[in-house]
């Protein structure tokens, strides 16, 4: 437990040592207020300007919004994560990245962690290949400072020591959109949202039944399958997907760490994920939504020998079997011709991981969460909307100990538009936590559009907090380490400012400067035997982009992020936060059903510890990777696809002690009827 200090505490989320630890009428069904984004079933009897209605309909399908003249000028996609109500992205002051179903299909990447790797402001750290524990660092904050939602369900795992969500096992093929919102967002989302929010929305059914299937095979004993159906029938819409991911032989452990006389054992990952989304409208202004997700994971990996220090990799594999499921049912209604809309939802999630280490023996982590949430939107006047929210949540862990905590919260937001050029969102939230008492957070985000010059000026400021986990509050490891039930929440104050500018038709650039001050970080105290609120950190940097569409069927985008993240107590760089990150992505619809996609990712040097942290600080070298993907739709129903990951066969470790896969070649066939 000595590695739980600021920066080092990330080892609990990213190394194997943690596994044993704990004015048009849009004629679709009634509006979905949950963070399931704007799907094709968004609004009924809610009036929008014609351009916004078209924008919503296209965003539902992951399509780009066509540019046209005058009042129908390009607005971009509609998002909900930044304000919790449908808002054109151009009117959002916050820094956001939207990954659409089209982007996912073009890249062919099977996991969400791989998709997020090129998002500006994010650093993705995965223990080797598929299935390895994966953490996301947003703008240099800790990996447990990110709120993660799937179809409106908070999927962070209360059973592990950091209460973090492991992105390593999240598959991508049933996803419609991913919205990545950067900056402190606790004023809307409460605990965890110090770095930002990642909101994942699965596919929704519409129209006649569509059946789909996929087979893919390739390097590292990979064999993946997918089958799904979606559609609608009168008042009912439905979508269901089954995904099976198998990578049976991924080399992860560096050869120079293996003791003499022993051989490397490749990692094994087998993941079965099912998801469904059902929507039913009892009346034009009253409907219900049911979403569900189930994952069964069997993972085999090489842990470190706990009986030695430094700890060499064990000669036999450890086993981690994880079962998780989550569901949410919501009722949504609209009154007064759309002037007031509301949604009431109830969600339940369960996570259970059983580990078997050949030396340390068996261990189990089990956690549950129940959350009841309500949201009401009041249209006060043209351009003025009041958003009200209330939540009741209870987190419980049953293994390795029994404990629970209740949080009640309420929030209010005012979204405003002045003169068609100035937009703002201001919110405040109050949390009443059973353990540490009350916490108030806020956020203000204004944006100013200048259509004549194609300019957008934006800024935001807000506060955030992260509640202590149940493990930090209650889990003891006598006689060496003890919990602290008197911990207070970690807190932050962050702000950013930026500009986006149209340089020429089809060419746009932008940059955003950000700064975060984080205090009361939960780290080990001076004795090294318990936790205390003694850590402080500062993160700051710049996110920039250049997007160019030289032709209708060709899109190019370059992103660059500079990040400084420092432990203010020790006055040293935080671990696993590279200062420089850049990416270049190109998507070309060649014609005759052929499409090409290419991505180049550069990650600069960073500071890390070695695999078992017997060496606390090392300089890790940077790396460059190239991924290529191609697809050929040779008929209306069938297509062939192929992908090359790590084209240059770069051998690198991130984190140190965990080798990333080399050159991988994959190919398959897809059917859609």
Q: What pLDDT was estimated at residue 550?
A: 96
Tokens (6 digits) for 321: 């079997």
Placement of tokens 């009168």 in the chain: 234
Q: What pLDDT was estimated at residue 76?
A: 64
Q: Over the stretch 407-464, which tens digit does the pLDDT of each residue have?
A: 999 999 999 999 889 999 999 999 999 999 999 999 999 999 999 999 999 999 999 9
Say whether pLDDT at 232 is over 60: yes
CA 12 to chain CA centroid, Å, is 19
Q: Over the stretch 238-278, which tens digit does the pLDDT of each residue have?
A: 999 999 999 999 999 999 999 888 899 999 999 999 999 99
Q: What pLDDT was estimated at residue 27?
A: 28
State how far the alpha carbon of 401 is from the alpha carbons of 50, 466, 474, 484, 523, in Å: 56, 22, 8, 15, 21
Q: Over the stretch 484-500, which tens digit does the pLDDT of each residue have?
A: 999 999 999 999 999 99
Nearby residues of 152 by Cβ (< 8 Å), 6 or more positions away: 34, 35, 36, 291, 328, 330, 345, 347, 373
Q: Over the stretch 380-403, which tens digit does the pLDDT of each residue have?
A: 999 999 999 999 999 999 988 899
Say whether pLDDT at 164 is over 80: yes
Q: Which CATH class, in words, describes the domain spanning 8-672?
A: mainly beta
Lowest mean pLDDT among 61-75, 86-100, 141-155, 624-638: 61-75
Q: What pLDDT was estimated at residue 25?
A: 27
Lowest mean pLDDT among 29-43, 70-84, 547-561, 573-587: 29-43
Say whether pLDDT at 533 is over 80: yes
Q: Are 272 and 243 in contact (CB under 8 A)?
A: yes
Say whether pLDDT at 288 is over 90: yes
- The predicted model gives 613-619 an average pLDDT of 93
Residue 453 has phi, psi (to 5 degrees) of -110, 0
The partner residues of 389 in beta bridges, in order of sequence, read 375, 411
Say whether pLDDT at 638 is over 60: yes
The partner residues of 327 in beta bridges, in order of sequence, read 292, 348
Average pLDDT of every residue of the chain: 89
- The predicted model gives 505-516 an average pLDDT of 97
Distance CA 446, CA 448 (A): 7
Helix, strand, coil percentages in the chain from 3-state DSSP, rounded to 5: 10, 55, 35
Domain spans in the chain, listed from the N-terminal domain onward? 8-672
What is the pTM for the complete model shown?
A: 0.90
- The predicted model gives 524-550 an average pLDDT of 95
Lowest mean pLDDT among 176-180, 336-340, 578-582, 583-587: 336-340
CA 98 to chain CA centroid, Å, is 11
Question: Of the spans 9-13, 68-72, 414-418, which averages the highest pLDDT?
Answer: 414-418
Q: What pLDDT was estimated at residue 174?
A: 96
Q: What pLDDT was estimated at residue 271?
A: 98
């Amino acid at each position: 437990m000595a590695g739980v200090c600021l920066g080092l505490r990330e080892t609990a989320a990213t190394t194997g040592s943690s596994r044993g630890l704990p004015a048009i009428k849009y004629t679709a069904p009634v509006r979905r207020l949950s963070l399931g984004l704007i799907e094709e079933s968004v609004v009924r009897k809610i009036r929008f300007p014609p351009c916004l209605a078209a924008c919503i309909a296209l965003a539902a399908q992951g399509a780009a919004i066509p540019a046209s003249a005058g009042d129908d000028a390009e607005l971009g996609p509609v998002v909900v994560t930044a304000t919790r109500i449908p808002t054109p992205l151009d009117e959002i002051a916050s820094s956001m990245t939207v990954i659409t179903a089209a982007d996912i299909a073009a890249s062919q990447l099977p996991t969400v962690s791989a998709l997020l790797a090129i998002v500006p402001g994010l650093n993705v750290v995965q223990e080797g290949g598929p299935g390895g524990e994966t953490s996301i660092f947003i703008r240099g904050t800790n990996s447990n400072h990110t709120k993660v939602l799937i179809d409106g369900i908070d999927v962070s795992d209360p059973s592990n020591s950091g209460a973090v969500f492991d992105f390593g096992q999240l598959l991508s093929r049933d996803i419609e959109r991913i919205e990545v919102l950067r900056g402190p967002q606790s004023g809307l989302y409460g605990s965890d949202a110090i770095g930002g929010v990642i909101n994942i929305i699965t596919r929704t059914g519409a129209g006649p039944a569509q059946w789909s299937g996929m087979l893919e095979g390739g390097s590292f004993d990979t064999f993946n399958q997918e089958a799904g159906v979606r559609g609608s029938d009168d008042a009912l819409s439905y979508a269901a997907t089954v995904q099976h991911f198998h990578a049976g032989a991924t080399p992860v452990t560096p050869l120079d760490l293996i003791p003499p006389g022993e051989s490397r054992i490749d990692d094994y990952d087998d993941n079965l994920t099912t998801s469904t989304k059902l929507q039913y409208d009892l009346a034009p202004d009253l409907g219900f939504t049911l979403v569900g997700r189930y994952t069964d994971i069997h993972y085999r990996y090489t842990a470190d020998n706990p009986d030695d220090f430094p700890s060499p990799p064990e000669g036999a594999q450890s086993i981690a079997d994880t079962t998780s499921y989550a569901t949410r049912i919501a009722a949504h209604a609209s009154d007064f011709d759309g002037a007031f809309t509301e949604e009431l939802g109830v969600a339940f999630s369960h996570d259970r991981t059983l580990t078997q280490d050949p030396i340390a023996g068996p261990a189990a982590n089990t956690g549950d969460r129940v959350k009841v949430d309500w949201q009401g939107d009041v249209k006060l006047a043209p351009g003025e909307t009041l958003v009200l929210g209330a939540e009741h949540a209870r987190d419980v862990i049953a293994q390795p100990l029994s404990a629970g905590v209740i949080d009640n919260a309420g929030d209010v937001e005012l979204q405003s538009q002045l003169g068609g050029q100035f937009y703002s969102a201001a919110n405040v939230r109050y949390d009443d936590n059973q353990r540490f008492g009350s916490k108030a957070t806020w956020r203000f985000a204004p944006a100013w559009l200048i259509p004549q010059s194609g300019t957008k000026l934006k800024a935001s400021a807000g506060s955030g907090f992260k509640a202590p986990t149940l493990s930090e509050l209650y889990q003891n490891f006598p006689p060496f380490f003890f919990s602290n039930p008197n911990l207070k929440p970690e807190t932050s104050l962050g702000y950013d400012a930026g500009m986006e500018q149209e340089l020429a038709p089809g060419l746009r650039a932008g940059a955003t400067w950000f700064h975060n001050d984080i205090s009361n970080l939960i780290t080990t105290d001076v004795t090294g035997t318990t936790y205390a609120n003694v850590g402080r950190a500062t993160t700051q940097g710049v996110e920039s982009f250049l997007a160019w569409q030289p032709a209708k069927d060709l899109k190019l985008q370059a992103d660059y992020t500079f990040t400084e993240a420092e432990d203010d107590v020790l006055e040293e760089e935080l671990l696993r936060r590279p200062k420089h990150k850049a990416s270049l992505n190109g998507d070309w619809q060649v014609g005759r059903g052929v499409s090409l996609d290419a991505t180049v990712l550069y990650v600069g040097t960073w500071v890390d510890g070695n695999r078992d942290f017997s060496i606390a600080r090392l300089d890790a070298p940077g790396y460059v990777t190239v991924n290529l993907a191609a697809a050929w739709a040779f008929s209306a129903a069938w297509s062939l696809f192929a992908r090359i990951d790590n084209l240059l066969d770069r051998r690198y470790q991130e984190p140190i002690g965990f080798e990333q896969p080399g050159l991988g070649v994959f190919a398959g066939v897809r059917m859609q009827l």
